[in-house]
Structure 1
Amino acid sequence: MDPVRITSELIRINSDNPPGITTDVIEYIAGILDSLGIATDCIENAPGHCNLITREQGHPLLLCGHVDVVPALDEGWHHPPYSGTIDEEFVWGRGSTDMKGGCASILSAVSNLVEEGVEPGVSLAFVCDEEVGGPHGIHHLLAKELILPSDCIIAEPTPAIAPCIGQKGLCRFSVEFTGTPGHSSLYPCVGVSAVMEAFNFIHFIKELHNRDYPVEPSMAGIISHSERILSDIFQTKGLRSVLTRIMYNPGIISGGEKANIVAQKCHIEVDLRLPWGCDAYQLLDEIRCQAPNANITPSSVWNPSLTPPHSDIVSRITHEINQLHNVASQPIVQWAASDARALRKKGFRVVEYGPGDIRTLHAVNERVAHDDLRDASEIYREVIRSYQS
C-alpha cells in the first residue's frame, strides 16, 4: 500500500478537533487492517470519539498515531485544506504533517510486511484527541490498560534524520479576574479594573521567559544538537531559548463590559512550555501566589519527559535511519508536546519519528513529501522486523 494515497484519503475524511468526531476516519483505518487480516477493536469513550487498537496487544513494540486534526480555514491555501491534493512532490492538506501522514506510513509498513508473508508482531493504536490533550484517547486507553507498557514509536512529524526522545513540560491554565466596576471617568482613582489586573499578570508571565534554567551536563549535548536541528528547520539563529527557557503564550483574552465601565470581569487562557529543570507544579503554585484574588484553573500540567538516549528503541530506530539515509543519526528533544508524555509516565519507552514538513504544523499549506512518507514507512517496517529477530 502506498502511503501517499492513504494520506490523501485520510485528509479527505474530516476529523477536526473540535468537535473531534473520528468515527469515519477510524472506520477507514479499520477497513485497511481488516483487509490485511489484522483484528481490531474500536474503543469509544464518548459518542463519536473513536480510537482503534489491534486486538492483540502486549507485543514488545507499539506504533501509535492520532487521527484528529486542528481546524483549517480555506483562506491562504494553495489547495483546499481538505482536498488531499497530490502533486509531483507533496500531499497537501490539513493533517498531512500532523499527523495523518504518519498514520499512513504505519499502515503502509504493516501492509508491506503482510505482503512479504511476514506476521507483523506489533501492537497498533490510533487515538482520537491528541490535539486537545487526549482525555478520550490515550488517557482512556492507559486508564483501562487497553495498551500495555512497551517500546513505542509515535509517528509525529520529526526531522528525517533525528528522532525525538523528549518533550518540554506544559502548564496550561485559565485565569478569571474580578474587578470593582465604576465610572470610567474616575479610574484609576476609583474602581479596580479586571482588564488591568490581567495586563499586570501577563507582564509577570512575560518575565518568566527571562529565567535561566541551567542545562544539566547529561542534557548539554542533546540540547545543543536539538538547537542546531531547530535552527536548520526554521532557518533562524538563536533558538536555544526555545529549549532552555519558559516559552509563553497568552492565547485568549476577553473582558470588560463597556468602554465607559471599569471592567468587572476579564478572562485569559495561557500556555507555558517548560524546560528541563523547571517543575510544573511548583511553577503553578507561584503563579497562584502572583494572582491571589483571581480564579486560576489548570487544564494540563506536565513536567518535561525523556526516554533515555541509550534505550533499545532509540538504538533500533537510529540504526534504521542511518541505514536508509547514510548518516550518523542523533536523537533530539522537542519544544512541543504530544501523547508521549502520558505514555512515558506509564512506563512506555517512547520515541517520536514520522514524516512531515514541521514548518507547516497547524499552519496554512500544510503538506508532506512523498519521499518522506515512503522513507518513514520503510523505517517503521525495518524496526518492526528487528523486534522479531
Structure 2
Amino acid sequence: MDELVVELCRDLIRIDTSNPGDHSGPGERKAAEYVAEKLESVGIKTTLLESHSKRTSVIARIEGEDPSRDALLLHGHLDVVPAQASDWTHDPFSGEIADGCVWGRGAVDMKDMDAMILATVMDRARTGRKPKRDLVLAFLADEEAGGKFGAHWLVDNHPGLFEGCTEAVGEVGGFSLTVPGDRRLYLIETAEKGLAWMRLKAVGTAGHGSMVHSDNAVSELARAVARLGEHRFPIRLTKTVQRFLEQVCEAYGVEFDPRDPEACLPYLGSLARMIGATLRHTLNPTRLDAGYKVNVIPQEATAEVDGRFLPGLEKDFFEQVDALLGDKVTREFVHYDIAVETDFEGGIVGAMEEALTWADPGAIPVPYCLSGGTDAKSFAQLGMTCFGFAPLKLPPELDFSGMFHGVDERVPIDGLQFGARVLDRFLDHA
C-alpha cells in the first residue's frame, strides 16, 4: 500500500482540476473518472453525478461486516485552487518527487487524503477485508468555491446516497505538531468557523468630479471598509479551542491562562496563524469596486469582505459587523455557510486515537477548530457528526499551514504512507 498511495497521489496531482470559481476551469470530470476506474478495478461499484458541465462527483458504498450499524462517510474533494507554474520550484501539476516529498497543487489540499482513501479501500477490497460497518465514499467537486456544485448539491438533490451515515470524516485534521519529549500532538478537527463572504454597497448621488459633493458613495464605503478592516474582535474561547490550548500548554509544561490565551501561540510555530484565527471572529476586506471614469462620481460603490465566525456565536458576529457598517452601507451574502462543532468523544474518536498511537507511540491526539471551512458543513446539515482526520506525521520544520493554497505545496512521502496505514487501522475499529 505504501507504493500505491504515492502513485495515486501523483496521478491525481497530474490531473489539473483548478477551480477559479466561475466554471472556466477544467473541472473535476477527468479526476472523477480516474477515481471511478480505480474503484471499479477492485469491484467497488461507483456512481458519477454531474451538477454542472465538468462539475463531477463520485459516490460509492462498501458493505461492512455489520450492515445494521450506522454508516460512516469518508469524503474528499477533487478540485484545487489555481496555481501559477512560474512561481513554483517544481511544476504544480507534475506530481514530481523531490526532497522526500510529492510536489504539486493539491498535495495537502487534498489529493493526499483522496489517495489515502483510495489506497486503503482498494487494498482492503483486494484482500477481502471488510470495514466494521458500511462505508460511503464521496470524492467531490467544487469545494474550493464553497461546494455549491459539489457537496451542497448532493445533499440537496441526492440525500439518499448518504442514507444511514451518522458520522463523516474529511480533511484538515490528524496532522502532527512536534512538542518536547519526542512527542507529537495530532490535531483532529472537531469544529470549524462559519463562513460569511459578503458584498457591501453604498449608494450616493452621481455627479461631476469637479464639483463640491457631500454625498459620495465611494467615501462612505471606504470609511465602512476601513472600520471593518481595523476592527479587532474580542477573544471568545470556544470549548474546542480552550481544550486544545490547554493541551498545548500541558505538552510544554506551562500553565494555561484563560485570561491570556494568546500566550500559547508562540509554541505553535507557523500553525499560530491558523490557530490564532480561532480565538476570535475575523473579517478581512478583499475587493473594492466603483465608478467607470475618473471625473464621474459614481452612484454606487461596492466591496467584498471575507468574514469567519466562531461556532455558537454567529449572532454576536453579525451584530458587531452591522454596528461597524452603520446606516448607509448594506450587506448581502456572496456565500454563507454554517459553523460546526462536536465533542471530542465517542467510539469514532477512540478509533482515531488508537490508530494514531499504534502508528506513533509518541502521539497525543487533541481536538482543534479549523479557521477555514470544508465540505463537513454540508454533511452536518444531514445530521452527521463531522471530523477532520487526514492523518500525516510531519517533520517539525515543515510549514504545514503554509502549504494550503500556497506556492510549492508538497506532502512528505513518509507522511503520506503513514496516513494510509493509520486510515487502514482506523477502519478496523471505526
- Length-normalised TM-score, structure 2: 0.81
Aligned to 2:58: 52
Deviation at 1:24, TM superposition (A): 0.3
Separation (CA, whole Å) in 2 of partners of 1:259 and 1:278: 42
Aligned partner (choices 183, 197, 213) of residue 172 of structure 1 = 197
What amino acid does structure 1 have at the position aligned with 2:333? Answer: P
Aligned to 1:150: 166
Aligned partner (choices 38, 48, 54) of residue 32 of structure 1 = 38
Separation (CA, whole Å) in 2 of partners of 1:230 and 1:137: 35
RMSD over aligned CA atoms reads 2.7
Q: In 2 relative to 1, CA 240–269 (structure 1 residues): closer, same or farther, beyond 3 Å?
A: same
Deviation at 1:133, TM superposition (A): 1.1
1:354-373 equivalent positions in 2, closer than 5 A: 354=390, 357-373=400-416
* SS state at 1:113 partner: helix
1:263-342 equivalent positions in 2, closer than 5 A: 263-280=298-315, 283=318, 287=322, 290-326=325-361, 327-342=363-378
Separation (CA, whole Å) in 2 of partners of 1:232 and 1:303: 30
Q: Structure 1 residue 124 and structure 2 residue 137: aligned?
A: yes
Aligned to 1:109: 120
Query: In terms of mean alpha carbon deviation, does 284-293 or 328-337 score higher?
Result: 284-293
Indicate if the aligned counterparts of 2:221 and 2:301 stay in contact, CA closer than 8 A: yes
Separation (CA, whole Å) in 2 of partners of 1:80 and 1:181: 48
Separation (CA, whole Å) in 2 of partners of 1:218 and 1:90: 32
Deviation at 1:214, TM superposition (A): 3.2
Deviation at 1:353, TM superposition (A): 1.7
Separation (CA, whole Å) in 2 of partners of 1:13 and 1:310: 38
Q: In 2 relative to 1, CA 34–232 (structure 1 residues): closer, same or farther, beyond 3 Å?
A: farther
* SS state at 1:14 partner: coil
Aligned to 1:204: 227
Residue by residue, what CA displacement relative to the aligned partner does 1:143-168 show, whole Å, maximum 9, x if unpaired? 22121332221033652322111101
Aligned to 1:162: 187
What amino acid does structure 1 have at the position aligned with 2:409? Answer: E
Aligned to 2:7: 5
Q: In 2 relative to 1, CA 358–282 (structure 1 residues): closer, same or farther, beyond 3 Å?
A: closer
Separation (CA, whole Å) in 2 of partners of 1:92 and 1:122: 30
Residue by residue, what CA displacement relative to the aligned partner does 1:31-86 show, whole Å, maximum 9, x if unpaired? 10011110000011222111100045886221100001111112220011111111
Query: In terms of mean alpha carbon deviation, does 253-262 or 18-27 score higher?
Result: 253-262
Aligned to 1:140: 153
Separation (CA, whole Å) in 2 of partners of 1:218 and 1:352: 13
Aligned partner (choices 382, 388, 391) of residue 352 of structure 1 = 388
Q: In 2 relative to 1, CA 88–117 (structure 1 residues): closer, same or farther, beyond 3 Å?
A: farther
- Length-normalised TM-score, structure 1: 0.89
Q: In 2 relative to 1, CA 225–249 (structure 1 residues): closer, same or farther, beyond 3 Å?
A: farther
What amino acid does structure 2 have at the position aligned with 1:352? Answer: G
Q: Which runs of 5+ in 2 are unaligned?
A: 177-185, 249-261, 393-399
Separation (CA, whole Å) in 2 of partners of 1:240 and 1:31: 38
Indicate if the aligned counterparts of 1:215 and 1:276 stay in contact, CA closer than 8 A: no
Indicate if the aligned counterparts of 1:41 and 1:55 stay in contact, CA closer than 8 A: no
Deviation at 1:234, TM superposition (A): 4.3
Aligned partner (choices 213, 238, 241) of residue 190 of structure 1 = 213
Deviation at 1:174, TM superposition (A): 1.1
What amino acid does structure 2 have at the position aligned with 1:365? Answer: D
Q: Aligned pairs, how many?
A: 384
Residue by residue, what CA displacement relative to the aligned partner does 1:355-384 show, whole Å, maximum 9, x if unpaired? 573321101101111112111111111111
Indicate if the aligned counterparts of 1:165 and 1:332 stay in contact, CA closer than 8 A: yes
- Greater share of strand: 2
Deviation at 1:88, TM superposition (A): 4.4
Query: In terms of mean alpha carbon deviation, does 218-227 or 240-249 score higher?
Result: 218-227
Query: In terms of mean alpha carbon deviation, does 288-297 or 75-84 score higher?
Result: 288-297
Deviation at 1:94, TM superposition (A): 0.8
Separation (CA, whole Å) in 1 of partners of 2:138 and 2:106: 17
Q: In 2 relative to 1, CA 235–48 (structure 1 residues): closer, same or farther, beyond 3 Å?
A: closer
Aligned to 2:17: 15
Indicate if the aligned counterparts of 1:313 and 1:351 stay in contact, CA closer than 8 A: no
Indicate if the aligned counterparts of 1:3 and 1:373 stay in contact, CA closer than 8 A: yes
Indicate if the aligned counterparts of 1:254 and 1:266 stay in contact, CA closer than 8 A: yes
Q: Structure 1 residue 73 and structure 2 residue 84: aligned?
A: yes
Separation (CA, whole Å) in 2 of partners of 1:81 and 1:267: 34
Separation (CA, whole Å) in 1 of partners of 2:19 and 2:384: 26
Q: In 2 relative to 1, CA 288–172 (structure 1 residues): closer, same or farther, beyond 3 Å?
A: farther
Deviation at 1:272, TM superposition (A): 0.8
What amino acid does structure 1 have at the position aligned with 2:385? Answer: R
Separation (CA, whole Å) in 1 of partners of 2:346 and 2:391: 22
Q: Which runs of 5+ in 1 are unaligned?
A: none
Q: In 2 relative to 1, CA 298–330 (structure 1 residues): closer, same or farther, beyond 3 Å?
A: same
